[in-house]
Structure formats: C-alpha cells, structure tokens
Amino acid sequence: MAWIYLILAGFFEIGWPVGLRIAQQSKTRIAGIVIAGVFMLVSGFLLWLAQKQIPIGISYAIWTGIGAAGIFLVGVLFYGDSTSLGRYLGVALIIAGIITLKFVH
C-alpha cells in the first residue's frame, strides 16, 4: 500500500504548480492558490503515509521525480512549454531513475 500512496503523492505533486500557474491570472488568483494548497496538503499527507514503510531518501526521490516529469509533460501538453530532444532525454532519465529506485529497493 505504501507504494500506491507514494505514486499518488507524486501525481498530486503535479497539481500544485498547476495551481500556482492558474494563480498568475488576477481573475483566478484565489482559486489557483486554493488549488495549489489543496494539492500540496494531499501530496504531503500521502508522502507521509508512504514514508512509514519506504525509506525517506527513496520516497523523496521518487516523489519529486514523478512531480518533475509530470509537470514537464503538463507544461508541454497544456501550456505550450518549449521542447527539445535534450529536454525529453532529461525527463526520460528521471523516469529511468524512478524505475531503478523502485526495483533496487
């Protein structure tokens, strides 16, 4: 169950930068801040649950890796962030690192 918590925590980690992005517009500032706060709380709580069984270094690395790779993809798909082969390679390396950490744990 700890690994499920950790994966969910990583996906919720993607949500708070999106909330901060939404908060950049004056019309949606409060909603964006609330969204970011909720995602931070849920992500942190799920990480806390995961760390009951998964070492802190492993769980934190996987949590941030999922968040980093996920927000990169959200940025590209929904916000028009620029891409390059090097950026995709970097994200692929993050994902490879996450997979490696899972299987050597």
pLDDT tens digits, one per residue of 37-50: 999 999 999 999 99
pLDDT in tens, 43-71: 999 999 999 999 999 999 999 999 999 99
Q: What percent of the chain has pLDDT over 90?
A: 95
Q: What is the pLDDT of residue 104?
A: 86
Q: What is the pLDDT of residue 46?
A: 98
Residues in the chain: 105
pTM above 0.85, yes or no: yes
User: What is the arithmetic mean of pLDDT over 93-101?
Assistant: 93
In terms of Cβ atoms closer than 10 Å to its own Cβ (0-12, 13-18, 19+), residue 45 is middle
Q: How many CB atoms lie within 10 A of CB 95?
A: 14
